[in-house]
Amino acid sequence: MKDIAKLTVIEIINLLKSGETSSESLVNGYKKIYEEKNTDINAYLEFFTDAIESAKLADKKRAELLTSGKSANEIYVEFPLLGVPIAIKDNIVVEGKVASASSKILENYKAPYNATVVEKLLNAGALFLGRLNMDEFAMGGSTENSAYGVTKNPHDLERVSGGSSGGSAAVVSMGGAPVSLGSDTGGSIRQPAAYCGVVGLKPTYGSVSRHGLMAMGSSLDVIGPLAHTVEDVEYIFNIIKNQDGDRYDSTSLKHEDEVKNISRHTFNPEKIRIGIVPELMNQGGIDKSVIETLNKTIELLRTAGCEVKEISLPHVKYSLAVYYILMPAEVSSNMARFDGVKFGSKVEGDDLLGDYLNTRGELLGKEVRRRIMLGTYVLSSGYHDAYYNKANITKDLISSDFEKAFENVDVVLTPTTPTPSFKIGSHSDDPVQMYLEDIFTVTANLTGSPAISIPAGSTKSDTGTDLSIGLQFTAPHSREDILFAVGKKVQQLRAL
Which residues are marked as active site? 89, 164, 188
Q: Give the list of residues 6+ apart from residue 161 with CB closer than 8 angstroms, or none.
A: 41, 43, 142, 143, 151, 152, 153, 154, 167, 169, 170, 173, 192, 195, 196, 421
Q: Is the peptide bond before 165 cis (omega within 30 degrees of 0)?
A: no
- What is the maximum span of the chain, computed from C-alpha positions, in angstroms? 70
Q: Are 434 and 187 in contact (CB under 8 A)?
A: no
Question: Which string of b and e fits 455-473 if b means at least 16 CB within 10 Å?
Answer: bbbbbebeeebebbbbbbb
**Residue 465 amino acid letter:** T
Per 3-state DSSP, the chain is made up of helix, strand and coil in percentages (nearest 5) of 45, 15, 40
User: 125 φ, ψ to 5°?
Assistant: 100, 5
User: 394 φ, ψ to 5°?
Assistant: -65, -35
**C-alpha–C-alpha distance, residues 8 and 15, integer Å:** 11
**C-alpha–C-alpha distance, residues 216 and 136, integer Å:** 10
**C-alpha–C-alpha distance, residues 145 and 154, integer Å:** 18
DSSP-derived 3-state class of residue 196: helix
Handedness of CA 13, 175, 51, 146 (dihedral sign): negative
**C-alpha–C-alpha distance, residues 221 and 394, integer Å:** 19
Alpha carbon 271 to its chain's center: 29
Instruction: Specify the DSSP element, H or E, that contains 201.
Output: strand 199-202
